[in-house]
Structure 1
Amino acid sequence: MAATAEALLIDPSGPAATAAVDLTADGRITVAAASGTRAAVLRRTFDGAPDISFGDRGTVFTAPADTGLTTLAPTGLAVGADGAPTVIASADDQVAVLRHTPDGTLDPSYADRGIALAAPGAGPSPVDVALTAAGGVVVAVNVTVGGRPRIAVLRFTPAGAPDPAFGERGIAFVELDEDAQAVAVDLHGDGTVVLAGTATRTTVAHPELLLAQFTPGGDPDPAFGSGGVALHQPAGTLATGLAMSLDGGGNIVLAGTSGDRFLAARYTSTGKPDLSFGDRGAATGVLLAHAAATTVAVRTDGSPVVAGTADNGWAAVRFTPDGRPDTGFGDRGAAVGSFTGGTGTTADQVAGIVLSAAGDIVIAGTATDRIALVSLTADGAPNPVFR
Structure 2
Amino acid sequence: MLSASRQWHVRAFLVTCVVAAITVTVAWTVGAEPRASATGSSGARHPGIVLTDVRPHELRAWVVAVQQEGKIVAAGGGQADLAVVRYERDGRLDTGFGDRGKVLVPVRSAGMHVGLAVVAGGKILAGGPTLVRLTRDGRLDRTFGARGQAVNGFAWTLAVQRDGAIVVAGEAADRFRIARYAANGRLDRRFGLRGSATADFGSDKVRPATDYPTAVLVQPDQRLVVIGTATECGMCDLAHFALARFTTSGRLDRSFGRVGVVETEFGQTYARAMDGAIQPDGRIVAAGFWDDAAGAALARYLPDGRPDPGFGTKGRVRGIEAVLETVAIQRDGKILVAGWHRGAGRDPDNTDAVVARYTARGALDRSFGNRGTTVFSLAASGRDQLYDLVVQPDGRIVVAGASGTGMFAVARLTPSGRLDPSFGG
Structures share fold, TM-score greater than 0.5: yes
1:335 pairs with one of 353, 364, 374:
374
What corresponds to 1:15 in structure 2? Answer: 57
Please say if residues 24 and 80 of structure 1, whose CA atoms lie closer than 8 Å, have aligned partners that are also in contact: no
Q: Pairwise mapping of residues 316-335 of structure 1 onto structure 2 (< 5 A)?
A: 316-335=355-374
Counterpart CA distance in 1 for 2:88 and 2:338 is: 22
Aligned partner of 1:24 in structure 2 is 67
Equivalent residues of 1:127, 1:183 under 8 A apart: yes
Kindly state the Cα deviation for residue 206 of structure 1 after the two structures are TM-superposed: 2.2
Q: Structure 2 matches for 1:45-124, cutoff 5 A?
A: 45-64=88-107, 69=108, 75-89=114-128, 95-119=129-153, 124=154
When normalised by structure 1's length, the TM-score is: 0.86
Amino acid at match of 1:294: E
Instruction: Look up the equivalent residue of 2:66 and give its one-letter code.
Output: L
Match for residue 172 of structure 2 among 134, 143, 154: 143
1:337–1:163 Cα change, 3 Å? same
Give how far 1:205 is off.
6.5
Kindly report which structure 2 residues correspond to 1:191-270, keeping only aligned pairs within 5 A, or say none: 191-201=222-232, 206-234=238-266, 237=269, 239-240=271-272, 242-258=274-290, 260-270=294-304
The one-letter amino acid of 1:194's match is V
- Name the CA shift for 1:185/1:318 in 2 (closer, same or farther; >3 Å): same
**Are the counterparts in 2 of residues 285 and 317 from structure 1 also a CA contact under 8 Å?**
no
When residues 256 and 309 of structure 1 are mapped into structure 2, their CA distance, relative to the original with a 3 A threshold, is same
Paired position in structure 1 for 2:416: 379
Q: Find the aligned partners of 2:390 and 2:368 in 1 and give their Cα distance.
A: 16
Looking at structure 2, the residues matched to 150 and 172 of structure 1 have their Cα atoms a distance apart, in angstroms, of 10
Look up the equivalent residue of 2:399 and give its one-letter code: I
Residue of structure 1 in register with 2:388 after alignment: 352
Instruction: Give the CA deviation at 1:113.
Output: 1.1
Classify 1:264/1:198 alpha carbon distance in 2 versus 1 (closer, same or farther; 3 Å): same
Q: Which amino acid aligns with 2:409?
A: A
1:72 and 1:374 mapped to 2: Cα distance?
Answer: 24
Provide Cα deviations, 1:144-178, integer angstroms capped at 9, x if missing partner.
2xxxx111101001111111221011100114335
Q: Residue 375 of structure 1 aligns to which amino acid in structure 2? A: R
Relative to the length of structure 2, the TM-score reads 0.79
* Mean Cα deviation higher: 7-16 or 227-236: 227-236
Q: In 2, Cα distance between the equivalents of 1:169 and 1:212?
A: 19
The 3 A distance-change label for structure 1 pair 76 and 51 is same
**Structure 2 counterpart SS, 1:82:** helix
Deviations 1:194-213 (A, max 9, x none): 001111236x9721111100
Q: Which residue of 2 aligns with 1:92?
A: none
In the aligned structure 2, how far is the partner of 1:22 from the partner of 1:33? 12
Query: Cα offset for 1:257?
Result: 2.2
- Summarize the Cα distance change of 1:319–1:292 in structure 2 as closer, same or farther, 3 Å threshold: same
Runs of 5+ consecutive residues of structure 2 not aligned to the other structure = 1-45, 343-350
Q: Does 2:195 correspond to 1:157?
A: no
Label 1:281 to 1:304 Cα distance change in 2 as closer, same or farther (>3 A). Answer: same
Contact residue 247 and residue 300 of structure 1 kept, 8 A: no
How far is 1:25 from its partner? 2.7
Tell me, which stretches of 5 or more residues in structure 1 are unaligned? 90-94
Distance (whole Å) between structure 2 residues aligned to residue 34 and residue 309 of structure 1: 20
The total of aligned residue pairs comes to 359
Is 1:133 matched with 2:162?
A: yes
Residue 177 of structure 2 aligns with an amino acid whose one-letter code is A
* SS of the residue 2:367 aligns to: coil
- 1:262, 1:317 within 8 Å by CA — same for their partners in 2? no
How far apart are the structure 2 equivalents of 1:28 and 1:370?
Answer: 20
* C-alpha contact (below 8 Å) 1:247/1:253 kept by paired residues: yes
What secondary structure does 2:132 align onto?
strand
Contact in 2 for aligned 1:242/1:255 (Cα 8 Å): yes
Structure 1 residue 37: deviation in Å? 3.9
Separation in 2, partners of 1:371, 1:236: 36
Of 184, 187, 195, the match for 2:218: 187
**1:71 Cα deviation (Å)?**
5.3
The residue type equivalent to 2:57 in the other structure is P
Question: What displacement does 1:271 show?
Answer: 1.0
Cα separation, 2, equivalents of 1:303 and 1:263:
16
Residue identity matched to 1:130: A
For residue 170 of structure 2, what is the amino acid of its counterpart?
Answer: V
